[in-house]
Chain A
Amino acid sequence: MNPLQTTLLGVNLKNPVIAASGTFGFGAEYLQFFDPSMLGGISSKGLTLNGSQGNEGVRIWETPSGMLNSIGLENPGVRRFIAEEYPKMRAISAAMLVNLGGHSIEDYLEGAELLNGVDLDILELNISCPNVKSGGMAFGMDEDLAAEVVSRVKSLSRHPLLVKLTPNAPNIVSLALACEDAGADGLSLVNTFLGMAIDIGQKKAVFRNVNAGLSGPAILPIALSMVHRVAKAVKIPVVGLGGIMTWRDALSFLMAGACAVQVGTASFADPLAMPQIIQGLRLYCQSEGLKNIAEIVGAV
């Protein structure tokens, strides 16, 4: 028996480690380093209905133990994704999560409807992108707006719905409860924290949009606390992420109540971060005599 085997929203995962949206392309970028089929799942780059060229200017800025990004959801759009990327991504035998963003409720609905036409495993609704001017994170900042988009997408989509929350919400626990009430099948948290950087030489913000999204180990303790509080408050499954670099970090999120984790920025620092986390979790199960990793979920 594989001690890491788990299920998420009724979908089988080989292990509870999922590549986070926007950090793993559409699954094929790290082929030179390892076979992505060994992952529990892969979440696609965030799609928007009509695609986008993303933001201009600086997009990446390293910070102490982390990084700011202002990619701005550069993506091919839902239709081109379905035609060009979906077949390749589906050929990878990890669970397939498609991350869907939007600028308006209509965008989300039309995107979700198009995605009904393909055989993905989980629809990850991104109401938390800090890097797009209209929509994006706005839907995740307001409980009523979040509930509306979640319930309308839920009633139309044939896929299990994972809603990705922003840590910038005024109260992430009440936001989580609002999404649960609105019909979310599960929650993933956190997306990036709003942050900024200033070029003191030029007396200007580094990013065109001034603010960008902070990720990486710098955010781990805050993300962990949010996951812990949300997992205690809701009954639906929670996927935890934010700054996970090692199997110990991943285990912390599982103990905090997440039934699976996502790993983002760590893959940039080391493409083998996820395979190593999976191996570390496997050895942990062995040494602790766990039949399944689920036994420690929510231990804290």
Chain B
Amino acid sequence: MALILSNECVGERVFLMKLQGLRAAPGQFYMLRPQERLSAPLLGRPISVFDADEEGLSFLYHMVGQGTALLAAKRAGEEVQAIGPFGNGFRFADRDLSVIGGGIGIAPLYYLLKEWKRRFPARKTEAFLGFSLESFMVSAFEDVSGRCQVNIGGFVTEDAPLAPGPLHVACGPLPMLRAAQKKAEGNGAELDLSLEARMACGAGACLGCSCATVAGNRRVCKDGPVFSAREVLL
């Protein structure tokens, strides 16, 4: 069980929860459960690591159903079960970085930008954030990216140049990922995608999260969740 240091509403049905004493790399995720094993809901909820510091990890999550509603009802000082970290996370390279986030898909990109800035301070970073109705956490992104452009109600993949040069990373709803994949392919740009799938184990054991790739099925939880846009068949 992990101690909740804070759990605040930071937007319309969006919450930021900080848990004590966990570690992870950017792009990794945890399976979060509001309570201990026997009580419902049964399965953990895969939630990406939003940020990390000496105290622990933060998670940015959208309250959409039973599990996330129970997480949102938790208070600082209570505990949740946090199993992980899972997944490979993002790759790092000494080059420019451009990220595209759609809705709650912005979650794993903050820590990526922050780490990129720390490791490669001379490199340019930019963020294109798309929201359907209301933006959230934008000022945090402005602090960690050289440039931050917000789109509300439109297509964020139209804003992002997805041009050759930088590494592009996208996370968000499937139609957005498909559009980014298509545009990057047309432009010859290098794009990584962070995917979602329904998961039971998060550990690579159940094969519930398989996604099709040019090299056959891969597990989103263990072989991903980050894949090259060239390999996944969305």
A interface residues with partner B (beta carbon < 8 Å): 22-25, 29-30, 32-33, 45, 53-54, 58-62, 64-67, 69, 71, 74, 216-217, 245-246, 265-271, 273
Contact = CB atoms under 8 A, between A and B. Distances in A.
A61 B207 contact: no
**Nearest 7 CB-CB pairings of A with B:** A60-B208, A29-B205, A25-B205, A268-B200, A60-B198, A29-B204, A268-B201
Contact of A59 (B38, B44, B198, B222): B198
Contact of B42 (A29, A74, A269): A269
Contact of A270 (B83, B199, B207, B210): B83
27 contacts: A25-B205, A29-B201, A29-B203, A45-B207, A53-B210, A53-B216, A60-B200, A60-B208, A62-B41, A64-B40, A65-B40, A66-B42, A69-B200, A69-B206, A71-B208, A245-B37, A245-B38, A246-B38, A268-B42, A268-B43, A268-B201, A268-B205, A268-B206, A269-B42, A270-B37, A271-B203, A273-B37
B124 to A, nearest CB: 36
B99 interface: no
B74 to A, nearest CB: 18
A35 B196 CA distance: 29
A224 B28 CA distance: 38
Given A29-B201, A60-B200, A268-B201, A74 B207 contact: yes
B44 A267 contact: no
A74 B205 contact: no
A54 to B, nearest CB: 6
The A interface is mostly helix, strand or loop, or mixed, namely loop
B43 A67 contact: yes
Nearest to B36: A270
Contact of A269 (B33, B205, B209, B210): B33
A246 B203 CA distance: 20
Interface string B172-209: 00000000000000000000000000111111111111
A269 B37 contact: yes
